[in-house]
Amino acid sequence: MFETLQDKLQGVFDQLSRRGRLTERDVDTALREVRLALLEADVNFKVTKDLVARIKERAIGAEVMRSLSPAQQVIKIVNEELVATLGEPAPLNLGGGSPRVIMLVGLQGAGKTTMAAKLALHLRRSSHRPLMVAADTRRPAAIEQLKVLGKQLDIPVYDEGTTVAPPTICANALKAAKEGAHSIVIIDTSGRLQIDEALMQELTDIQDKSAPQEVLLVVDAMIGQDAVKVAEGFNEQVGLTGLILTKIDGDARGGAAISVREVTGVPIKFLGTGEKLSDLEVFHPDRLASRILGMGDVLTLIERAEAELDEDLAQEAASKLMEGKFDLDDFLKQLQQIKKMGPLTQILEMVPGFNKMAKDIPMDVAEQQMVLTEAIINSMTLKERRNPRLLNASRKRRVARGSGTNVQDVNQLISQFRQMQKMMKQLKDPRKMRGLMNMFDGFR
């Protein structure tokens, strides 16, 4: 979402880094480009104006002008002011008596129902016992959708069909939650195409019946500045405690994420980063600012790896690799583990400095290659995966047909795998390490 803004800001910083000392004129020129980049990214005009003014006030001060590396100081200031604009981290308020109630509100199509399941999964991983409540009676498919998601996650869903009023459903759900010893109740409410009186009255009635600790607005980040207007409208009517921005993995300009906290005063609590039910991140302003400035986000990458990767499988693969016993079946398992973490581009953009390298790497080609590799290995028998030497000409033709590739692709995969095995054997021989390091220097 922030790719265009990231590229433009990186261009500004590159220009500054070529100057040994910065003058006020240099800063003005750079900040003019920053202002344009933010406005083109659909950041609110007032937010942009205030942000750039704060950056300028600090950037023309003594801390930058007398610095040995003024460009780095400017980047540091931009990062700090961007974090200030995004607001303080705001964890969920889960205090008070059990069960704690979280009410999800928003316009139709924002992704409330899916978000209810994502949030339930996130809270269960934190040792809570969630109960989801199907209170969207205006869209019958929403009830069925929530039940399907609940079955998929093995998380219970309370519903009373479409004939009972949503406030009554929520009141009854609270009683059921107490009887079932559930610690969290997540209410999926109805949405409309736009804010209207009937919608707000229904939400107010649900609030009266359920007394939620959290009222979270689920808003589509791809609708740009309209996201700010929607947040303001809901906040005035029902009093929001937080925001969840969905679809930040899309290709919209991303300004809403920067603007919405500053304009509404309501904190962002979660980011929906993809379509999978595990694609939900706790919002950390400093981490998002780092991503926007192309500085990566190693902490989120580590958290995602810890949540998605099988540690025992990783250790087993590592020991097999060092012992020279790593085969194509192990390689397939590792590919599948990496896919759990999300799209390759999303993973690599969290690596510091990757945005510069990405211009030289066609990531769509890399994604396609991973799909082809997995298809080729899946078309092999278990014996062939464990011993690729069994793959004679006829077997290779069978594998190629089964994977929708050609024999040349199969040969290339086997060749690359053998090279990797050979390299790992060299790592075990100290006498060959020097030559290997020289080869890495050549790659670099």
Q: Give the per-residue pLDDT at 395.
A: 92
Range of the domain at 7: 3-86
Q: How many residues does the chain have?
A: 444
Which of 106, 223, 224, 129 is CA-nearest to residue 181?
129
pLDDT band at 116 (very low <50, low <70, confident <90, very high): very high
Q: Where are the alpha helices (DSSP H) in 211-254?
A: 226-238
- Of the two residues 385 and 346, the one the predictor is more confident about is 385
* Main-chain phi, psi angles of 143, to 5 degrees: -65, -50
pLDDT above 60: residue 355: no
CATH number for 49: 1.20.120.140
Q: Is residue 253 part of a domain?
A: yes
Other Cβ atoms less than 10 A from the Cβ of 69: the count is 12
Region for residue 162 given its phi and psi (left: phi exceeds 0; alpha: psi -120 to 50; beta: otherwise): alpha
Which of 156-160, 257-261, 329-333 shows the highest mean pLDDT?
156-160
| Last-in-domain residue among 246, 271, 295 | 295
Element (H, E) at 281: strand 280-282
Q: How much is the pLDDT for 431?
A: 55
Is the domain of 204 the same as that of 287? yes
CATH number for the domain harbouring residue 345: 1.10.260.30
Q: Is the peptide bond before 140 cis (omega within 30 degrees of 0)?
A: no
| Among 342, 341, 339, 320, residue whose Cα is nearest residue 329 | 320
Kindly list the distances between the CA atom of residue 226 and the CA atoms of 223, 230, 236, 264, 292, in Å, as whole numbers in the listed order.
6, 6, 15, 12, 21
What SS3 state is found at 219?
A: strand
Kindly report which listed range (33-42, 179-188, 417-426) carries the lowest average pLDDT score: 417-426
CA 212/CA 104 separation, integer angstroms: 10
Domain contains 319: yes
Answer whether residue 17 shows pLDDT above 90. Answer: no
* Shared-domain flag, residues 175 and 285: yes
Whether residue 290 contacts residue 296, with contact meaning beta carbons closer than 8 Å, is answered with: yes
| pLDDT: which is higher, 284 or 350 | 284
Over range 186-199, report the average pLDDT: 84
Total structural domains in the chain? 3
Range among 23-32, 58-67, 142-151, 313-322 with highest mean pLDDT value: 142-151
User: Do 174 and 217 reside in the same domain of the chain?
Assistant: yes
Q: Which residue has the higher pLDDT, 266 or 425?
A: 266
In a domain, 300, yes or no: no
Sheet holding 130-134, edge to edge: 157-158, 130-134, 184-188, 100-105, 214-220, 242-246, 268-272, 280-282
Q: What is the pLDDT of residue 44?
A: 82
Joined tokens for residue 372: 């082809």
108 and 148 co-located in one domain: yes
Mean pLDDT of 76-105: 85
Structure letter (DSSP) for residue 267: P
Are 144 and 119 part of one and the same domain? yes
Q: What is the pLDDT of the chain when averaged over all its residues?
A: 80
Same domain, 114 and 262: yes
- Final residue in a domain of this structure, among 266, 295, 324: 295
In this prediction, residues 204-228 reach a mean pLDDT of: 86
Q: Which of 27, 51, 86 delimits the end of a domain?
A: 86
Return the pLDDT at 352.
Answer: 58
- Confidence at residue 186, expressed as pLDDT on a 0 to 100 scale: 95
pLDDT digits (tens, 9 = 90+) for 387-444: 888 889 999 999 999 989 899 988 988 888 888 777 766 655 555 545 545 554 554 4
The pLDDT, as a whole number, for residue 444 is 47
Identify the band that residue 64 occupies on the pLDDT scale cut at 50, 70 and 90.
low
- The DSSP call for residue 358 is G
Regarding whether 389 and 254 lie in a shared domain, the answer is no
Residues 220 and 262 placed together within one structural domain of the fold: yes
Domain co-membership, 79 together with 195: no
pTM to 2 decimal places: 0.67
Residue bearing tokens 């433009």: 8
114 has which bridge partners? Answer: none
Looking at per-residue pLDDT, the higher value among 403 and 291 belongs to 403
99-129 burial, b if ≥16 CB within 10 A, otherwise e? bbbbbbbbbeebbbbbbbbbbbbbbbeeebb
Q: Is residue 91 part of a domain?
A: no
